[in-house]
Structure 1
Amino acid sequence: MSELIAYIAPQNVLPALSDCILILNSSNTHLNLVLEEQASSTQKRWVLPQPVQRLSLGSETCHWLIASLHHEPQPLTPTNRAGLQIRAMGHCLNHQDLAHSLNLGDACSLNELIAAVLQRQIDDGANLTEAMLIANAQLKGQISYLCHQESQAQFILASCLGLPLFVGLESGLRQICSSSLRLIRQRANQVYAMKDGDIVRFGLDTPLLILGDGLEQVLEMPAVTKNQSVPHFMLEEIEAQPETLAILVQKYKEGYVLPLALRAKLAGIRSVTLLACGSSYHAALVARYWFETLAGVSVQVGLSSEYCDRDVRADDHDLMIAISQSGETTDTIAALKHAQASGRPRTVALTNSPGSTLTTLVDHHLLTHSGAEQSVSATKSLTAQILLLFMLANALGQARGHLSAEQVASHDEEMLLLPNVVAQTLLLNKEIRRWANGLHRKNNLFVIGRHTHYPVAMEGAFKLREVAYQHAEAFPAGELKHGPITLVNDDLPVIVCLPWNQQAQKMLDDLKAIRANHGEIFILSNGNIASVEGTSVIRMPSGLTHLSPIIYIVALQMLAYYCAVLSGNAIDTPRNLAKVTMDF
């Protein structure tokens, strides 16, 4: 996934950019830069060394710049008649239609397309902010872009159309905008997370939000706690999830995620079996609902450690999906071999590790592209697994004729929206830490949910046990009345995953029994629910339907992390655990 950084300040900003590149430590190897040089704009390109090293970006004084980082070399884009320079990231769904209407070639870049759309509005008499408001209504998809105009050299404008962008104030009057939340938190003293549809003007004055009617409003920019480095790998990997998910979505849109040879076999699939352990098992349980609903197939989910003791007879109409972050999990490898020995299923490995043992045993392998994970606890690799399983379920439903073209398009739009909603979820960290201040002292907790959010509750309880060393149990909310409710009292908190969907009313009914037993309730919900005595609510972002389990998992990851920190635990190396589970 491409990344964007912009700087503007009274002093030279090139050293700050060099620092940012080191902090990002990005796998992107191509840097495109448009910047001030001798009172005018110029463009430069660099190939970044791997591993990333400090760059010497020149000795000239530069007061503003816009940088973009990419996997592949990008063409330089000439400044147009309006003096515009654009740096964009994302995917425009109507790119070809807009390009044709502007007499651009099909191969024009996203930068060129947006510049031309803005130029057309400016030619019709609009100023730059008016042009952006009109252009943003025309651009379809998940896009963010930065814009500089030579006649307004003291400002840069940022536009968020789904992909995350953050505006921050640094010391020395420097103002920064970046697509990386991790970078902005380390660099800025105050941060504003742009929402879908926002346009922000920043520069040598107070940052302003451009409203839909063209009026301007001063940004509210909360202060952030400055850390020279992220204190634990687990937190760094939690905060990396918008970027890792955006990378996976981009690769999916470009056709690199699901092999054509696998797609060709999907129409003949009648059932799906998912094999996994630990957090990957919870990913499989979430995906079970999608394979049933979106693809219309029967589904089994097997714990790898138990599957070898079952008498199974899979045939070539069964899709067997073995899930392992490392691709080396002994139980999952054994379960796959057991299935292959007793039948002839189509086999797929879903892993983060190309070339691992699991990938050598299957017909096809799917990679999560989530990057190395240093903490023992699965965070970004887990959410990437869940997203990749959604992609596969969507493709299976399409191949079997179970989904309409409109449903497929809606699912594609939801995937494009996901990284930004995850970024919004990460901004709830202060509220979640307030919960942790009280919850980390509790010896026992319940976590509950319904439908796809019951496996989410299982993962939340799993993380609290794994990292915070707390005895947390997950239950389907409807099962509380069949025994577990007897344990609920004023010393047993209940954490509730309550997305505002068709299960919401049932969940609200379940909560009445908890309150009747004086249980303290902690609700994660995007519904309009108020906190009252005995019930604390954190308002979750809206905008997702099928993929909402991912943001609830992210919130519970943060809760487990902060509970563990407050308890003084070893965060990245929990006791008695290792990253790859092997037999001893």
Structure 2
Amino acid sequence: MCGIVGYIGSQEATPIVLDGLRRLEYRGYDSAGIATLHDGKIEIRRAQGKLINLENLLRDRPLTGSRGIGHTRWATHGRPSETNAHPHKAGGIVVVHNGIIENYLSLKERLKGQGHSFSSETDTEIIAHLVEEHYKSTGDFVTAVRQALAEVRGAYAVAILCEQEPDRMVAAKLGSPLVVGQGQGENFVASDIPAMLSHTREMIFLEDGEMVVFTGAAMEFTDLAGKPLTKIAKTITWSPLMAEKGGYKHFMLKEIHEQPRAITDTLAGRLREEEGDVYLEDLKLSDADLSGLEKIFIIACGTSWHAGLVGKFMIEKHCRIPVEVDIASEFRYRDPIIGPNTLTVLISQSGETADTLAALREAKGKGGRAVAVCNVVESSIPRECDGVIYTHAGPEIGVASTKAFTTQLVALFLFALRLGRARGTLTAEQVREFATALATLPRKVEETLELNEQIEAIARDFMNARDFLYLGRGNQYPAALEGALKLKEISYIHAEGYPAGEMKHGPIALIDELMPVVVIATENDTFEKVVSNMEEVQARAGRVIAVTDAEGLCDKADALLVIPRIVDDLMPVLTSVPLQLLAYHIAVLKGTDVDQPRNLAKSVTVE
């Protein structure tokens, strides 16, 4: 959540920073602002609401200067307002900040006692005043930043300018993402790669406790104590066009339709059909490591947690090893039992999810190994893990995750196959059969996407419902949870996912003619039982929307979506697609902000 962009070079900073902020809108925000440094003077423009408000302000009151920092804010301390928007200034110091300063109240009281006055309700303004106070005594901008950050407790990514030293910009991170872009005679810093891709593909990823000092076109990397560091740039292969809408009305719709390509890219080069095995280039765990495992934890939040629930079915079924799936924010507080033969799998689209990162550190601190399933190369979680399985979904801009979720399912299945081969619970022939099924998956997702017009018609019929119930059994129960989450995220309709077998233990009391029930009924061991659930709903005048690969259910449902068949392990990929489209079309019909739903952020980088 929140977004930082900084620029130092020879061009006008404002259009570059503003363009970068626009490319970070997906992270979620409620206000925005820019500061530039020109002729030894810092000027700031801030506005509540969307970036268009800031753009209008800049049209009336433009900013000049070749050094600039900008920010999109999602309120944590202090209500959304122009006053609380970043950047914040104290004396000749101006700062933008992502994260939370936990000890800001005690620091604020001390600074007030030293004569400082504050104009906002934010924790961020404390940083500007701290740097100003230390600059008074040191006379050196970089030293003042180091000393100020040494007093701060919490999480931060900061970019800072100083009127007295106009050729310098300083950035640092602890617990919040920050990436440096290396250009020709100019440099950039931002919260995420897309903000800089139209200017450079050479990226340097800051680790926690690291700082970069930009002096003109030069860069110097150190730790917070001033020890020099050597950092190597990585070339990012995403093109700027990958983050554009490509003719679709919304990013979410584009990303739903990108799923065949994303799945193909996630599979590329990983299936070894002749050997009957899977190659995971960055897993970095040997067969001996994998065969010696005694237990696996899967840790994630939100949509990624739903992927982990499906992953549990895959791994336990094919690898015969116990798997626990935990919500990251709960895992670290329950003192989990972890040993050297425990593997923790962390799932995060962004690789920066604060609760998941904290759970990773808990697991590593107890002596266990850790592997990430992640979409963003070189983000924090993969960097701290022993290995990683990248999903190769490409940039996902819509806040409600779609292609990241289905590629996570594919990545987890690949991991289950690799683990099964290492442990001897799967034969080469079995893996070859699964590889054949995986090869057909992108085409079958394309076939499922052809239901789009039918789903839009269903959405019109059900858009005015106030509540939805989603039912599934086995590995389709997590798909039901995910379908319900998608609907509530973007349409603001209350929706609840339930195991179909539990319907009689409470939810059945809610069913009447006003309650649509979305039932996932795939032909597996529990198919007949799920059909019975559909009949129970109809007997109580409930309306059934069925997602199925079976024929002959027309009289069991008010609306029927028939999808292709594939092996049961991969069916959640296919059943999720129509549920994504249903949520999307209902949200569009209701007129909500599909790509940036209220109160939500794409990358949750605070606890």
Partner residue of 1:249 out of 267, 277, 281:
267
Shift of 1:579: 0.8
Q: Go from structure 1 to structure 2 and tell me whether the alpha carbon gap of 1:316 and 1:228 turns closer, same or farther (over 3 Å shift).
A: closer
Structure 2 residue 470 is the aligned partner of structure 1 residue 447: yes
Maintained 8 Å contact 1:519/1:534: no
The answer for the alignment partner of 1:297 in structure 2 is 321
CA deviations 1:76-120 (Å, max 9, x no partner) are xxxxxxxxxxxxxxxxxxxxxxxxxxxxxxxxxxxxxxxxxxxxx
Q: Give the Cα separation in 2 of the matches to 1:523 and 1:300.
A: 30
Amino acid at match of 1:327: G
CA deviations on 1:382-433 (whole Å, 9 max, x unpaired) are: 1111100010011111111111222111111111111010000000101111
Going from structure 1 to structure 2, the CA distance change for 1:262 and 1:427 (only over 3 Å counts) comes to: same
List structure 1 runs of 4+ shifted beyond 4 angstroms.
none
Taking the aligned partners of 2:510 and 2:538, their CA distance within structure 1 comes to: 13
Q: Unpaired runs of 5+ in structure 1?
A: 1-226
Give the match for residue 326 of structure 1. Answer: 350
- Sort the Cα spacing of 1:360 and 1:261 in 2 relative to 1 into closer, same or farther, 3 A: closer
Residues in 2 aligned to 1:562 and 1:568: alpha-carbon distance in whole angstroms? 10
Q: Structure 1 residue aligned with 2:453, among 414, 430, 437?
A: 430
1:561 paired with 2:584, answer yes
CA distance in 2, matches of 1:386, 1:447: 20
Q: TM-score, normalised to structure 2's length?
A: 0.57
| Alignment partner of 1:410 is 2:433 | yes
Note if 1:580 corresponds to 2:603. yes
| Cα-to-partner distance string for 1:358-388 (whole Å, 9 max, x where unaligned) | 1221111111111011111111111111100
Q: Is the contact made by 2:246 and 2:254 (CA closer than 8 Å) also made in structure 1?
A: no
Distance 1:371 1:527 in 2: 33
Determine the C-alpha separation between the residues in 1 that align with 2:541 and 2:349: 40
Q: Does 1:363 align with 2:386?
A: yes
The amino acid of 1:474's aligned partner reads: G
After TM superposition, the score normalised by the length of structure 1 is: 0.59
Alignment equivalent of 1:284, drawn from 287, 308, 312: 308
Structure-1 separation of matches of 2:286 and 2:535: 47
Report % sequence identity: 37
Taking the aligned partners of 2:253 and 2:322, their CA distance within structure 1 comes to: 37
Indicate the residue corresponding to 2:493 in structure 1.
470
- Helix, strand or coil for the counterpart of 2:502? helix
Following superposition, the deviation at residue 345 of structure 1 comes to 1.3
Would the aligned equivalents of 1:287 and 1:389 in 2 still touch at CA under 8 Å?
Answer: yes
Tell me by how many angstroms 1:228 deviates. 8.6
Which has the higher relative contact order, 1 or 2, with Cα contacts under 8 A spaced 6 or more apart? 2
Specify which of 290, 293, 296 is matched with residue 272 of structure 1: 296
Q: CA deviation at 1:513?
A: 1.7
Name the structure 2 match of 1:421.
444
Give 1:445 deviation, angstroms.
0.5
Q: Which residue of 1 aligns with 2:533?
A: 510
Residue 533 to residue 447, structure 1, CA distance change in 2 (3 Å):
closer
Equivalent position SS for 2:324: strand
Task: Give the corresponding residue for 1:313.
Answer: 337
**Number of the residue aligned with 1:336:** 360
Q: How many Å separate the matches in 2 of 1:533 and 1:456? A: 20
- C-alpha separation between the residues in 2 aligned to 1:260 and 1:363? 8
Counterpart amino acid of residue 405 in structure 2: L
Contact 1:257 1:367 in 2 (8 A): no
Cα deviations across residues 283-318 of structure 1 (Å, max 9, x unaligned)? 000110111101100010010011111121211211
Give the Cα separation in 2 of the matches to 1:313 and 1:319.
Answer: 11
Q: Distance in 2 between matches of 1:228 and 1:396?
A: 38
Distance 1:525 1:533, change over 3 A: closer
SS at match of 1:414: helix
Shift of 1:253: 2.4
The 1:365/1:570 distance shift into structure 2, 3 A limit, reads same
Aligned to 1:188: none
Question: Is the Cα–Cα contact under 8 Å of residues 467 and 560 in structure 1 kept in the other structure?
Answer: yes
1:495 aligned to 2:518? Answer: yes
1:354 to 374, 377, 380: 377
Please tell me the root mean square deviation across aligned C-alpha atoms, in Å.
1.6
The structural deviation recorded for 1:512 is: 2.3
- Cα distance change on mapping 1:533 and 1:582 into 2, 3 Å: same
Deviation at 1:340, TM superposition (A): 2.1
Q: Deviations over 1:157-207 (max 9, x none)?
A: xxxxxxxxxxxxxxxxxxxxxxxxxxxxxxxxxxxxxxxxxxxxxxxxxxx
Aligned partners of 2:493, 2:452: CA distance in 1, in Å? 20
SS of equivalent to 1:350: strand
Letter in 2 for 1:349: A
1:268–1:487 distance in 2 versus 1, CA, 3 Å: same
Unaligned runs of 5+ in 2: 1-244, 273-277
Higher alpha-carbon deviation: 478-487 or 529-538: 529-538
> Which residue identity is paired with 2:344?
M
Cα distance, 1:501 vs structure 2: 1.4
Report the number of matched residues: 357
1:5-44 mapped onto 2 (5 Å cutoff): none
SS of the residue corresponding to residue 474 of structure 1 reads strand
Contact 2:283 2:387 (8 Å CA) reproduced: no
Rate the CA distance shift 1:493–1:291 in 2: closer, same or farther, 3 A.
same
How far the C-alpha of 1:545 sits from its partner, in A, is 2.4
Confirm or deny: 8 A CA contact 2:546 2:557 kept in the other structure: no
Aligned residue runs from structure 1 range 226-265, under 5 A: 229-253=247-271, 257-259=280-282, 261-264=284-287, 265=289
Instruction: After TM superposition, give the deviation of residue 460 of structure 1 in Å.
Output: 0.1
The change in CA–CA distance for 1:347 and 1:578 in structure 2 (over 3 A counts) is same
Q: Is the contact made by 1:313 and 1:339 (CA closer than 8 Å) also made in structure 2?
A: no
The AA in structure 2 aligned to 1:318 is T
Deviation at 1:544, TM superposition (A): 3.3
What SS does the corresponding residue of 2:268 show, helix, strand or coil? helix
What is the CA-CA distance between 1:456 and the residue it aligns to?
Answer: 0.1
Q: Does 1:384 align with 2:401?
A: no
CA separation of 1:514 and 1:404: change in aligned 2, threshold 3 A? same
Q: C-alpha distance in 1, partners of 2:295/2:285? A: 15
CA-CA distance at 1:502 after TM superposition: 1.4
Residue pair 2:534, 2:557 contacting (<8 A) in 1 also: no
CA–CA separation in structure 2 for the residues paired with 1:364 and 1:263: 11
CA distance in 1, matches of 2:342, 2:536: 42
- Aligned-partner Cα distance in 1 for 2:337–2:283: 27
Secondary structure, in 3 states, of the residue corresponding to 2:382? helix
Contact 2:468 2:516 in 1 (8 A): yes
Q: Secondary structure at the match of 1:334?
A: helix
Question: In structure 2, what is the Cα distance between the partners aligned to 1:509 and 1:410?
Answer: 32
Q: Which residue of 1 aligns with 2:25?
A: none
Give, as a single letter, the amino acid of the residue that structure 2 aligns with 1:236: K
Work out whether 1:479 is the aligned partner of 2:502.
yes
- Of the structure 1 ranges 365-374 and 506-515, higher mean CA displacement relative to structure 2 is found in 506-515
